[in-house]
Structure formats: C-alpha cells, structure tokens
Amino acid sequence: MSVKVIDLYKEYIVGDSIIKAVNGINLEIEEGAFIAIMGASGCGKTTLLHLIGGLDKTTSGKVIVNKKDLSQMNDAELSFFRCCEIGFVFQKFNLINEMTVLENIVTPILISKRKINEEYIRDLAENLGIAERLDHTPLQLSGGQQQRVAIARALANDPALLLCDEPTGNLDKKNRVEVIGLIDKVHKKYGKTIIMVTHDSDIAKHADIIYRMEDGKLNS
C-alpha cells in the first residue's frame, strides 16, 4: 500500500501560542517499503503517524493512502478503512485482559464483520511464536509475548499498511531484539508497507529508509 503526504500541518493552540507538531511535511512511501521515523520525544513523530493512520485530523494538507484521500472520508468510512486496511502496533499493548489471546487477535475481524480466515490466523500465530498461547489471557504472558499478540491483532484483517509507534519501547533488550526481528519477518513474509516510529537507532536500522524528525519537520 502506497502512502503520500502533501504539505501536511497539524497545529495546536496552547495559551497564546500555536504549536506546529507537524510542520509542512511532504513524504511519499512506495508499496512494500519499511520506513523508520526517528526523533526525540515531542518532535511530532507520533502525531505524524496518527495523521497517516487517520487517528487524528490534519490542520491542512493531505494524507493519501492507497490512492484514497483520508480527509474526504466521513467518520464511518474512516473507521472502516482503519479497521480493514491499516494495522496499528503501539508501545502499550492495549490488550483486553478478560479475553483470550485468540479472542484479542480476531477482534478487528469481528468488528469489521468479516469471516475469520482460520488458516491465516494459525499461520500468524505460528510465525509470531504464540501458537501455544492462544487459550491464555494476556496476564499469563510476558511483555514480549503480549506485544507479539498485539502484532498478530494488527495483522488479523490482513492490512496492507502496518503503523508501529515505539513498538519495543516497553520491552527489555532481549524482547526488543525479538520483536523487531518479528516486525522485520512480517515485512518480508507478508509484504506489508511498514512505517515505524522509534527513538532507538538499533531498532531503526532494520528499516529500508530512515527519516529524522525535529520540530515538526522531516529530514532523510
């Protein structure tokens, strides 16, 4: 899935000041690319990711995902598009503790009212190393295992675009290495377009292209 960002701005009013979290960004990402966006906290990288994923509205400019202008979608269309076409992996796992691993994974499919492809879900679980944990609850898993479940959930609807916001931020070194290895594996095996936000250069080096963000601006 291709992504194109055109003259993108996101501004916030704080007191008498205007904060430009995203300040005139232009970006084009080819289908199947793995992109990392690095920068210090507060530089605007998460805001940019949220705009690309349709989780936030732009002040001005366009985000075009798979040749579709997100600004032209109503709330219902945007919600369905996010659920079916984009997978999200966050720093916090955001799993539902009262549900099993399998129930967590298939939640996006149930929301979109699609049929569950059991073979694909089994394949995901095998490749992410959680096939033996499907009947467990998140509280019975380690942090690394919970993030694996979160990645599987993000991929459950087989989206073409995967957005990762500090996906290793809550993990120890061993699990950081394992999780970024899995994201790399997802990129290669399933051919997903991946945009990952991180402040960790060791994590970013797995991407095809690294951008650096500072004061709302993006530099290659």
C-alpha distances (whole Å) from 52 to each of 28, 57, 155 are: 11, 9, 17
Q: Please compute, for residue 13, the number of CA atoms within 13 A of its CA located in the half-sphere on the CB side.
A: 3
CATH of the domain at 35: 3.40.50.300
Q: At what angle do helices 75-85 and 101-111 cross, to 10 degrees?
A: 140
The count of residues in the chain is 220
- The pLDDT value given to residue 81: 92
76 is a domain residue: no
What averages of pLDDT result for each successive group of 10 residues across the chain (220 residues)? 94 90 96 94 93 95 94 92 93 94 96 93 94 96 94 95 93 90 91 94 94 91
- The pLDDT value given to residue 154: 96
Q: How many CB atoms lie within 10 A of CB 128?
A: 22
- The pLDDT value given to residue 122: 95
Secondary structure of residue 132 in the 3-state scheme: helix
- The pLDDT value given to residue 42: 86
Containing domain of residue 200, as a range? 3-70+81-219
Q: Are 94 and 150 in contact (CB under 8 A)?
A: yes
Query: CB under 8 Å to 113, separation ≥6 — which residues?
Result: none
> Structurally, how many domains does the chain consist of?
1
The whole-angstrom separation of Cα 153 and Cα 175 is 18
